[in-house]
Structure 1
Amino acid sequence: MESVTFRNKDLDIAADLYLPDGFDPSLTYPAVVSAHPIGSCKEQTSGQVYGAGLAAQGYVVLAFDASFQGASGGEPRFVEDPGLRVEDFRCAVDYLVTLGYVDEHRIGVLGICGGGGYAVTAAMTDRRFKAVGTVAAVNFGRMMREGDLSPDAAIATLDAVAAQRTAEARGADPVVGDALPASPEKAAELGITGLDVVEATKYYRTSRGRQPNGLTRSLFSHMGPALGYDAFHLADQLLTQPLQIVVGGVPGEFGSYRDGFDLFHRARSQHKDILVVPGESHYDLYWKPEATGRALDALIPFYNKYL
Structure 2
Amino acid sequence: MNTKKITFKNIAWDNAGILLFPSDFDDKKKYPAIISMHPIGSCKEQTAGNVYGKALAEAGFVVLAFDASFQGESEGSPRYIENPLLRTEDVRYAIDYLETLPYVDTDKIGILGVCGGGGYSLNIAMTERRIKAVVSITGVNFGRLLRDGFAGGSPMEVLGNVTKQRSAEVAGAALLTINMLPDSVHAGKEAGIKDIDILEATDYYKTSRGQAPGGATNAVYSNMAAGMGWDAFHLSETLLTQPILVVIGDKPGGFGAYRDGFEIVRRAASAKKELVIIEGYSHYDLYDQPEPVQQALEKVIPFFRENL
Secondary structure at the counterpart of residue 121 of structure 1: helix
Question: Are 2:210 and 1:201 equivalent residues in the alignment?
Answer: no
| Alpha-carbon spacing, 1:234–1:14, altered in 2? closer, same or farther (3 Å) | same
Superposition map of 1:30-179 within 5 A: 30-147=32-149, 153-179=154-180
CA-to-aligned-CA distance 1:162-197 (integer Å, 9 cap, x gap) = 000000000000111101111222223223211001
* Residue in structure 2 matched with residue 222 of structure 1 by the alignment: 223
Question: Within 2, Cα distance between the matches of 1:178 and 1:271?
Answer: 38
Q: 1:121, CA displacement in angstroms?
A: 1.2
Question: Within 2, Cα distance between the matches of 1:220 and 1:35?
Answer: 22
Secondary structure at the counterpart of residue 30 of structure 1: strand
Runs (5+) with no aligned partner, structure 2:
none
CA-to-aligned-CA distance 1:79-129 (integer Å, 9 cap, x gap) = 011111011001110000110000000000001100111111111001000
CA-to-aligned-CA distance 1:127-178 (integer Å, 9 cap, x gap) = 000000000000000010111799x810110000000000000000011110
Question: Within 1, Cα distance between the matches of 2:151 and 2:11?
Answer: 37
Q: 1:3, CA displacement in angstroms?
A: 0.5
Question: Within 1, Cα distance between the matches of 2:229 and 2:166?
Answer: 17
Question: Within 2, Cα distance between the matches of 1:189 and 1:225?
Answer: 32
* Residue in structure 1 matched with residue 281 of structure 2 by the alignment: 280
Moved more, 91-100 or 177-186: 177-186
CA-to-aligned-CA distance 1:42-95 (integer Å, 9 cap, x gap) = 000000000000000000000000000110000011001111101100111000
Letter in 2 for 1:193: K
Runs (5+) with no aligned partner, structure 1:
none
Secondary structure at the counterpart of residue 54 of structure 1: helix
Letter in 2 for 1:116: G
Question: Are 2:15 and 1:8 equivalent residues in the alignment?
Answer: no
CA contact (8 A) 2:151 2:158 kept: no
Question: Within 1, Cα distance between the matches of 2:19 and 2:150?
Answer: 39
Question: Are 2:229 and 1:241 equivalent residues in the alignment?
Answer: no
Letter in 2 for 1:49: V
Runs of 4+ in 1 over 4 A off after TM superposition: none
* Residue in structure 2 matched with residue 232 of structure 1 by the alignment: 233
Question: What's the Cα RMSD here?
Answer: 1.2
CA-to-aligned-CA distance 1:220-248 (integer Å, 9 cap, x gap) = 00000000000010010000000000001
Letter in 1 for 2:251: V
* Residue in structure 2 matched with residue 17 of structure 1 by the alignment: 19
Q: 1:305, CA displacement in angstroms?
A: 0.3
Question: Within 2, Cα distance between the matches of 1:267 and 1:255?
Answer: 18
Secondary structure at the counterpart of residue 131 of structure 2: coil
Letter in 2 for 1:27: K
CA-to-aligned-CA distance 1:10-32 (integer Å, 9 cap, x gap) = 11100010001111000000000
| Alpha-carbon spacing, 1:106–1:149, altered in 2? closer, same or farther (3 Å) | closer
| Alpha-carbon spacing, 1:156–1:298, altered in 2? closer, same or farther (3 Å) | same
Question: Within 2, Cα distance between the matches of 1:213 and 1:115?
Answer: 15
* Residue in structure 2 matched with residue 192 of structure 1 by the alignment: 193
Q: TM-score, normalised by structure 1?
A: 0.98
| Alpha-carbon spacing, 1:42–1:148, altered in 2? closer, same or farther (3 Å) | closer
Aligned residues: 306
Identity rate, percent: 51
Secondary structure at the counterpart of residue 147 of structure 1: helix
Question: Within 2, Cα distance between the matches of 1:32 and 1:6?
Answer: 16
